[in-house]
Chains A and B, each alone.
Chain A
Amino acid sequence: MRLGYNIIIGADIASHDMKEEVLALLIEKGYAVANAGTSGSEHGDFTDAAEVVAKGIQKGEYQKGILLCGSGIGAAMAVNKFKGVRGGLAYDLERAVLMAADNNTNVICTGGWLMPDAAYAVKMIEAWLLVKYTGRDIEGMKRAEIIENEW
């Protein structure tokens, strides 16, 4: 288990093939990654993947989640509907690192249509996994909890 994280990855139909490649590459590198298993080459909705990934994190079974859909936008919409889950969206290293440091994200969403290849997606995911949250936005975390419960 690299970096001490249990990780779960899911995709929709559009990014199923890339997800398979990303999963294989991460496992090869020594990461503990489970497959949400909601997609195939002929089926898969981003919401089904988001639900499995989000609930895995809520239960504490996994600390980090990865979601791929066509653009990543739907995945980021759906996964943030779960309490305690903070899903950021990134297509490059800069944004991936910033959302780890600043936004306390525990899920990274990206778009298979917009990634050059699986190797780049893995590089971005690794950068995101390596960078720790600064802990700075204490007020934001409190207010996010209020929004989750009341709005």
Chain B
Amino acid sequence: MGKTVKIIIGSDTSGFALKQKVVKALAEDGYEIKDVGCYSADEGYYLDAAEPVCKGVQSGEYNKGILICGTGQGMNISANKFTGIRSALCYDLFTAKMSRADSDANVLCTGGWCVEPDKGVELVKVWLSSDYYDPNNEYGINRMKEFEKEMRA
């Protein structure tokens, strides 16, 4: 498990340094990872990363998305606006694990200002290697699908 997962990742300027570390660490672990930018610490708006990452997961081209900004907050709000995206904002290993186990999150957001680089890499790895305990939260996940339909009705 793990290495066959296709991952898409993006950040804004505040999350750039952590994103670079994560990309490097995941590539070393043998993950297939697509980096949609930003590509420097000088330029990069959070939605220019959130949109391609969420669209990539929504279309099924990628299995999991990772988004990093200063706090992860703007990324998480916008990611959850997408149909079929269940995005979790995590700063620690417990919530990283729980967001997979309980809510089957397919996008992970975190904050470059909020986690130490090594811890950030570890939290991404824990999240990627954690599974959903089907059907742990079937009711909630189905309700969210209803909300998504309602939003676009």
Contact = CB atoms under 8 A, between A and B. Distances in A.
B90 A73 contact: yes
Interface in A98-151: 98-99, 102-103, 105, 111, 114, 137, 139-140, 143-144, 147-149, 151
A143 B74 CA distance: 12
A139 B45 contact: yes
A139 B47 CA distance: 9
Given A73-B98, A81-B151, A151-B58, A103 B140 contact: no
B89 A89 contact: yes
A48 B144 CA distance: 10
A88 B75 CA distance: 10
Nearest to A149: B152
Nearest to A90: B73
A46 interface: yes
B143 A144 contact: no
Nearest to A147: B81
Q: Is the interface of A mostly helix, strand, loop or mixed?
A: helix
Interface residues of A, number: 39
A80 B73 contact: no
A39 to B, nearest CB: 13
Nearest to B139: A45
B46 A81 contact: no
B86 interface: yes
B102 interface: yes
Tell which of A51, A74, A105 has the most Cβ of chain B within 10 Å. Answer: A74
Contact of B143 (A47, A73, A143, A148): A47
Nearest to A74: B103
A11 to B, nearest CB: 14
Given A73-B103, A147-B51, A147-B81, A78 B58 contact: no
11 contacts: A51-B143, A73-B105, A76-B88, A80-B77, A80-B81, A86-B77, A87-B77, A89-B73, A89-B89, A102-B71, A143-B47
Interface of B: 45-47, 51, 54-55, 58, 70-71, 73-74, 76-78, 80-83, 86-91, 94-95, 98-99, 102-103, 105, 114, 137, 139-140, 143-144, 147-148, 151-152
